[in-house]
Amino acid sequence: MGVLEILFYILFAALVFPGLVFISALALFTEWFIRKIEARMQNRMGPSYVGPFGLLQPLADMLKLFSVKEEIRQRYSVPGIAVGFAVLGIGAAVAALFLLPLSPIRIAANYDFLIYLYLCSLWIPVAIIFMSLSMPNPFTGVGISRLLTMIIVYEPAYFISIFIPVVLVSHFYGGDAFYSILFTSMNSGRLWLNPLAAIAMVFGLVAILVSTQTKTMLQPFNIPEAEQEIIAGFATEFSGPILALYNFLHDVEITVTILAITYLYLGGPYPYPHLSIPGILLLIVKFLAVLFIVCLVKAVFGRLRIDQAVKTMFKYSFIPAFIGIVITSVLVFAMPP
């Protein structure tokens, strides 16, 4: 394959599939699915007017914010910084897709799971924080402080949850790339056939689902946004295009995180080949199943206070992740590859 062909595939992967175009469509579908399912669970209609079944409502809402709604500025705001960090956050999420089997151009190297965590667990929160700081307000400071408090708890749990399948796959199945997101994604389904490894995977799955709910600031962990309060936390000053970019970044983060769970814990299309029709259909079913769990938790629970949220995260995310990594460590040292 020549240099031009490689560049073409890289541009195609970054801009079309599974890059910006694909992940934008999937993120908007994810928002529609969450809004629609949550509304049905609460005996409401949900998106219904734009497009069949309201499928185009999230796109219409985003276009309305870009084209119609005014961008409110105050004396100390720097909207350009907010836009720049929103684009960086979206770019980091898109770049993380190169580590998954979904991409035609795949990055695989020893310990590349650290690259995924760097992109999704560092840049996206940093983007949100600096977007808020670029539009200063006493209330945004309260929202940022709440977000930082939550990050201290959920990021270690999320890290450990990612680490569990990565270690188990590297130990039991080896491969050309150890501690690799790509290699783990292609082999994690086999871990469920090992009873001892499956126990660790169960604890890790519980931990990563709870930490995902926290990471994406969905109920009951939407404390930084404080949507039920008069002032909406770190997003107080967001309006117009900046609010549209933040909403889009949030949707992309949810989508990429659920895709990672689908591959790292549920094996993606396993036991079918990745490019087969049954494999694609099974991948879609698994993605929707994880997304449905996110919707169910969001619809059932109300917003917690920050102290309640920290206790809940520690109990249902950090402790299961810790138990899972202990079991994983025992398996690694007690059982030969």
pLDDT tens string for the chain (337 positions)? 677 878 888 888 888 998 899 999 999 999 999 999 999 998 888 888 888 999 999 999 999 999 888 887 888 889 999 999 999 999 999 999 999 998 888 888 899 999 999 999 899 999 999 999 998 888 888 888 889 999 998 999 999 999 999 999 999 987 677 899 999 999 999 999 999 999 999 999 999 999 999 999 998 998 887 655 656 688 888 889 999 999 999 999 999 999 999 999 999 999 998 878 999 999 999 999 999 999 999 999 888 888 899 999 999 999 999 999 999 999 998 877 6
Cα dihedral across residues 124, 125, 126, 128: positive or negative: positive
pLDDT of residue 226: 67
Give the pLDDT confidence score for residue 229 in this predicted structure.
Answer: 60
pLDDT at 231: 63
Structural domain that includes position 40: 3-334
Long-range contacts of 34-40 (CB under 8 A, 24+ apart): 34/218, 34/254, 34/291, 34/294, 34/295, 34/298, 37/292, 37/295, 37/296, 37/299, 38/295, 38/298, 38/299
Residue 232 has φ and ψ, to the nearest 5°, of -95, 50
- pTM score, whole prediction: 0.93
Q: What is the pLDDT of residue 227?
A: 53
Question: How is the chain split among helix, strand and coil, in percent rounded to 5?
Answer: 70, 0, 30
Q: What is the pLDDT at residue 48? A: 86
d(C-alpha 244, C-alpha 86), whole Å: 10
**Tokens in use for 94?**
């898109």
| Number of domains, the chain | 1
Q: Write down the pLDDT at residue 228.
A: 52
